[in-house]
Amino acid sequence: MLALERPVPAIDTDDTCATSEADATASWWPSRFGADDQVGTLNEISPAAIVAAARLVRQGKVFDLGRVLDSSVPHFPGRFWQQTLVSNAHLNNSRRPEGTDSGWGRNEVNWLIELATGTFQIGTQLDGLNHLQIGDRFYNGYRACDIVEDWGTNKLGIETVPPILTRGVLVDVARYRGVARMNAGDVITVDELEAILRAQQTRVKAGDADIFHTGWGSLWENHELFNSGEPGIGMAVASWLVEHRVALTGADTWSYGAVPSEDPERPFLVPQTLNVKHGLFIMENLATEVIAEAGLTEFLFCLTHHKTRGSTGAVIAPAAVI
Amino acid sequence: MLALERPVPAIDTDDTCATSEADATASWWPSRFGADDQVGTLNEISPAAIVAAARLVRQGKVFDLGRVLDSSVPHFPGRFWQQTLVSNAHLNNSRRPEGTDSGWGRNEVNWLIELATGTFQIGTQLDGLNHLQIGDRFYNGYRACDIVEDWGTNKLGIETVPPILTRGVLVDVARYRGVARMNAGDVITVDELEAILRAQQTRVKAGDADIFHTGWGSLWENHELFNSGEPGIGMAVASWLVEHRVALTGADTWSYGAVPSEDPERPFLVPQTLNVKHGLFIMENLATEVIAEAGLTEFLFCLTHHKTRGSTGAVIAPAAVI
Amino acid sequence: MLALERPVPAIDTDDTCATSEADATASWWPSRFGADDQVGTLNEISPAAIVAAARLVRQGKVFDLGRVLDSSVPHFPGRFWQQTLVSNAHLNNSRRPEGTDSGWGRNEVNWLIELATGTFQIGTQLDGLNHLQIGDRFYNGYRACDIVEDWGTNKLGIETVPPILTRGVLVDVARYRGVARMNAGDVITVDELEAILRAQQTRVKAGDADIFHTGWGSLWENHELFNSGEPGIGMAVASWLVEHRVALTGADTWSYGAVPSEDPERPFLVPQTLNVKHGLFIMENLATEVIAEAGLTEFLFCLTHHKTRGSTGAVIAPAAVI
Amino acid sequence: MLALERPVPAIDTDDTCATSEADATASWWPSRFGADDQVGTLNEISPAAIVAAARLVRQGKVFDLGRVLDSSVPHFPGRFWQQTLVSNAHLNNSRRPEGTDSGWGRNEVNWLIELATGTFQIGTQLDGLNHLQIGDRFYNGYRACDIVEDWGTNKLGIETVPPILTRGVLVDVARYRGVARMNAGDVITVDELEAILRAQQTRVKAGDADIFHTGWGSLWENHELFNSGEPGIGMAVASWLVEHRVALTGADTWSYGAVPSEDPERPFLVPQTLNVKHGLFIMENLATEVIAEAGLTEFLFCLTHHKTRGSTGAVIAPAAVI
């Protein structure tokens, strides 16, 4: 904020927020990673895990788990994406010293840029721990009234998330069930998850990126059906992931966890619990079909993203590498 | 474009653009990667190179080469970044069925999102091959009048760039010169580059990501000085990088190549030549000091980015991993 | 532009633009209002005309000629409108000195704002004389390469347009033809125009705002049909308006003039000619049905608009007052 | 909202918002204009008042009370304005059927548009009755939790405000005090107001637009000083305006009412009280010096504005006409 924007007394961090009923009984903070921690389960990715993950690269093949983002993608109410090409330089480069009709300088340089405007909670995305709340509480007990600034949040923003390299594990539930696509509301069970892992001889370890393929992503072009619900894990698998100290998880669905919810009175309980109580990161709209079709089960998972200050998410395209 | 937007006859690809003087003598397309190629020197990254790069991961340490982006960063005229936090859900979740004062459902779920607006040619960035031109020609001879759509470009957009994993090489010129920071207009020579590589026993190979540390990034907070110019490579090193079939390059500067330019009548000739004639990708405003201080010379370079359709660049934060 | 944005040599106004074929034979500038004039036919509105127009107010009734703008309105390709409510103050006012759970200060003040993003060439609008061109020439011979800045144009921007008060005249062509709605491509003739004016005993005078009701606006909700074309005046009526020294004109259509065009090889010739050659202002998507239904023929026309620097248009809602 | 955006149960208007302490004792709603009223004191502008105001137009002179808006204007924290010129048509019109190098069709039509992004609570502005609150209550008792939608508010939005034509009265307090500019925190008294009105032989009537000139607008270019505070009316004059049934008011200051506030524990109490309790509309950053210098005291006040759905304000440039 500029020094000159003075009339309004500065916003400080005095503890003046209201506390809701939920707070009274809460016992899920401070986080086991420390009261000041902002990166949750990413702490589980040890140097040894990174080295081991890199060793999974034996063929030099890279798979792209991101979907292209434009104004036509399905989206949650209130979210949008617009981009406009900007070609002013084609017109005003001629006015620069050394400008000519064809560009600037004897090398006739010209350029295009674009102007993008939208919400980052759209397309293939990583949710920050400043996205979901229980009442007014985020991960580690942070409250909106403590961390909200006009430009984003001053804690837990997506810029606090480091580059992520770890072992990725694909759990192909659609294939296990013998379907191209699971149905909205279908709940993945612990028995299924364990059977799939046994079949592919994978033992989930601390720091893993566990990714679920449900086939729901095949509806991407059919907005109405795509948005009408989704298959996903339930609270039992959520607990399993926490117990196994997974670092992050994701699926080919617009949210994470079955919709309608197992408990219809508790919408989005799965991602809410993982994010808020456990600091476990979630990715949405992953193009899992790319690695499901190729039969990948374990791989080096890589994710680097735009570090925009205070954002609640990032538009991503992670890589699976073997 | 929506079907209903009918009144204007569709834009087709008939060849009706004007051709400038420059075109008559041009001989730099089709590209050696094919007349339809859109990813230029990224073709140089072979599976073997990826496997070899992954083997550089021996300690499990990850370094972040991205700078945080907010409205206060230095920028080129006409570019900007603005983000606004959006907390409507705090107010309207109470109106949903099962809504309460504290959120939606018995689990009191709430959320924050943000609205970002700006140009992607800002902060730590990867330039697409649809950014710079010679006259009206991009890489592989594409013309603006062929590929410009209202929403971006229909060829060469940043969504065509795959996830990048390859060997990274740091060339610490500031250290070689014994300075904390090179000066604006300083030109890195081939002799210097080769001496540095010899000293660190690195042989540059096809597909490498060659990254230059000039120390200029230490001026990041001082917009006026930072924007007043920059050190960088000249055309001789540019040719050297092309001959060595480097896949991408970058530096801790706002553009790439010395500014003022070696030839004052040819502004931005270095990045223009690399992008347009050779399809060689460039990154700007890399936080190279992070790996320079740690003494890295070779590493696994990882870059995954937002695949926004038709964009001329991406806001990035690549990782260097050892 | 900030002083610190230095690296790029300033853009000056040296005359280096290319000239197209069209320029060689052009004889329509300088404008009859002077070589530096930027407001064209608004010069025709004399103080006496304003006084006379004000005298038309005898009942104190105000009619609103604007349509509400939101993301759902029909639009030309590449144009859009998005608005997002912003309620951060509800969360961070509690952190100010004297902040409480319910707002800031003992008076518990809170506020909402919004973030709008879009193109002004949408909805009920006034086109600036920097919108349409013949080749690269605007009104008074200004060229894009002379006046384009990153933020808009440095001449002819909508901020140069003063508040407009003058006599408004409604020409209800649909009623004259005995139809609820004219058809796409229907061309209004001079005979018709003159017959309508005779019937309502109106003599068009210099400085008038002549507004045509075609009934096409009744398709506003039906985007596909609305955008598929429109009725409007042809070149003969355009010449008539120029000869009668009308100050501005408009209709209940998305552009102005029949679409398809009288001459299919000359799209948008009517508004192009009026804007560029004559500096005659045009309004689109007027809610003319409001005054057609009330039977207005003459009225005080009032238009004040957002003076955003360098814009090519304004989102408006003019008033007709009797 | 699109039909396809289904997953989230619709937001209804069940009364589930929390009620703050303030609500218990409130007695200021329903409004005297009716429980459903949305336009407050604009109801005071009678047809007779409009006719009388129009009769003030005797010279045909129009004065513009708006300031030009661009990214450089002073603003409150969290607010901004950005505009980018868009000239894509120059590049892709050549691709249309009948396109040529110089434009589209034999008439070589081309065009420019712009993309604007920002908050409407900036520059010369009219505040909607959905802007300020007491706790969670707006005018007529509406609550944010009742009317907030993702895109704006579903009641009290700026699109509900009709075109405004009424008598304007200038109260030149700076001149009365014999200063070019009043000081921050200076409070205009009822005695002063009445003395000024007596001196200029004006009797304030129901439906008037009462505009105060303080000279503070002369600091417009000096952001730091301009934003550091402002002179304005206090609660006594606010009550006087309510008693005299004024329709709207405004000044040449960034907010309305003295800052610092008369009661330092009650920031922005004057505009809050006028908007929320009385539905009295307020304009900010008026270019009052234009009419103060011309010596206007009574005039026809005209204001038509962009009717963007659900906005909390409008960027305006009202006219004073004599």
Q: What is the pLDDT of residue A308?
A: 98
Output the DSSP codes for B272-309.
Answer: HIIIIIH--EEEES--THHHHHTT--EEEEEE----BT
Following DSSP, what letter does each residue of A139-170 receive, concatenated? GGG-BHHHHEETTEESSS-GGGSPPEEEEEEE
Cβ-Cβ contacts under 8 Å between C and D: the total is 356
Q: Kindly report the average pLDDT of chain B as a whole number.
A: 93
Position A6 scores a pLDDT of 40
- Cα separation of the two ends of chain A: 45
Quote the minimal CA–CA distance from C61 to chain B in Å. Answer: 36
Using the beta-carbon criterion (under 8 Å), do A13 and C117 form an inter-chain contact? no
B110–A144 C-beta distance less than 8 A: yes
Token readout for C33 is 């209002």
In the predicted model, what is the mean pLDDT of residues B146-153? 96
What residues in chain B have their Cβ under 8 A from chain D's Cβ atoms? 8-14, 16-18, 71, 78, 80, 82, 84, 88, 91-92, 94-101, 117, 119, 144-146, 148-150
Q: Give pLDDT, residue B2.
A: 31
End-to-end CA distance of chain B: 45
Residues with Cβ within 8 Å of B246's Cβ and at least 6 positions away in sequence, in order, are B41, B44, B204, B206, B207, B208, B209, B210, B280
Spatial distance between the Cα atoms of D7 and A229, rounded to a whole number of angstroms: 6
Q: How many CA atoms lie within 13 A of B284 on its CB side?
A: 27
B116 contacts on D by Cβ (under 8 Å) = none
Which structure tokens are listed for B56?
């550089």
pLDDT score of B10: 57
Per-residue tokens: B273: 């030549």
Name the minimum distance, in Å, from the CA of D104 to any CA of chain A.
Answer: 17
Closest Cα to residue D219, out of D8, D19, D73?
Answer: D73
In three-state form (DSSP H/G/I as H, E/B as E, the rest C), the secondary structure along C101-128 is CCEECCCCEEECEEEEEEECCCCCEEEC
pLDDT (0 to 100) of residue B285: 98
Chain A contact set for D84 (CB, 8 A): 84, 86, 88, 115
Q: What's the sign of the alpha-carbon dihedral D37, D41, D46, D47?
A: negative
Rounded mean pLDDT, D296-308:
98
pLDDT digit string (tens) for A34-49? Answer: 999 999 999 999 999 9
Residues of D in contact with A2 (CB under 8 A): 223
Kindly tell me the burial class for residue B68, based on how many C-beta atoms sit within 10 Å of its own C-beta (0-12, 13-18, 19 or more): buried
Q: What pLDDT is attached to residue B13?
A: 47
Identify residue A244 by its one-letter amino acid code: H
Q: C300–D54: do the CB atoms touch at under 8 Å?
A: yes
Share of chain D above pLDDT 70, in %: 92
Q: What is the pLDDT of residue D1?
A: 27
Tokens matching residue D46: 């009678």
Which chain A residues contact residue D86 at CB under 8 A?
84-86
Q: Which residues of B touch D7 (CB under 8 A)?
A: none
Nearest beta carbon to residue A60 from set B50, B144, B300: B50
Contacts for C274 with CB less than 8 Å, ≥ 6 apart: C238, C241, C242, C249, C256, C280, C282
pLDDT digits (tens, 9 = 90+) for D1-58: 233 334 455 555 444 555 554 554 568 999 999 999 999 999 999 999 999 999 999 9
Residues in chain C: 322
At D2 the pLDDT is 32
> Phi and psi (nearest 5°) for C272?
-60, -45
- pLDDT attached to residue B70: 98
Count Cβ–Cβ pairs < 8 Å, chain A vs chain C: 87
The 10s digit of each residue's pLDDT in C280-309 is: 999 999 999 999 999 999 999 999 999 999
Q: Provide the β-strand partners of residue B81.
A: B118
Distance from CA of B45 to the nearest CA of A (A): 9
**Is the CB of residue B256 less than 8 Å from the CB of residue B232?**
yes
SS3 of residue D241 by DSSP: helix
Nearest partner of D77 among A106, A255, B82, B170, judged by Cα = B82
Return all residues near C296 (Cβ < 8 A) that are at least 6 apart.
Answer: C63, C170, C320, C322
Of A257, A292, A33, A251, residue with least CA distance to A132: A257
Structure tokens at C58: 């005898």
- Phi then psi dihedrals of residue C172, to 5 deg: -90, 85
Q: What are the backbone dihedrals phi and psi of residue C289, each rounded to the nearest 5 degrees, phi first?
A: -60, -30
Mean pLDDT of B68-73: 97
List phi, psi (to 5°) of C176: -60, -40
Q: Is the pLDDT of residue C270 over 60?
A: yes
- C12 pLDDT tier (thresholds 50, 70, 90): low
Look at residues B109, B113, B62, B67 and name the one whose alpha carbon lies nearest to residue B87: B113
* Cβ contacts of C113 on chain B, cutoff 8 Å: none
Q: What spatial distance separates the first Cα and last Cα of chain D, rounded to whole Å?
A: 45
Task: Judge: A14–C100 Cβ closer than 8 Å, yes or no.
Answer: no
Q: Which residues in chain A show pLDDT less than 70?
A: 1-26
pLDDT of residue D4: 33
What is the gyration radius of the CA atoms in chain A, in angstroms? 22
Contacts of A13 in chain C (CB under 8 A): 95
Mean pLDDT for the stretch of residues D172-180: 98
Backbone angles phi, psi at C233, to 5 degrees: -75, 160
Residue with tokens 């406009």: A84
Beta strand C152-153 with B164-172 is: unpaired
Q: How far is C1 from chain A (nearest CA, A)?
A: 15
- Paired with D249 in beta bridges are D210, D282
Give residue B282's region: left, alpha or beta (phi > 0; psi -120 to 50).
beta
Question: Is 70 exceeded by the pLDDT of residue C2?
Answer: no
- Contact across the interface for C150 and A88, Cβ inside 8 Å: yes
The torsion of the CA quartet A117, A122, A125, A128, rounded to 10 degrees, works out to 80
Give the residue numbers in D contacting B (CB under 8 Å), as ranges: 8-14, 16-18, 71, 78, 80, 82, 84, 88, 91-92, 94-101, 117, 119, 144-146, 148-150
Number of helices followed by number of strands (H, E) in chain B: 11, 19
Compute the distance between CA of residue B127 and CA of residue B305 in angstroms, rounded to an integer.
Answer: 12
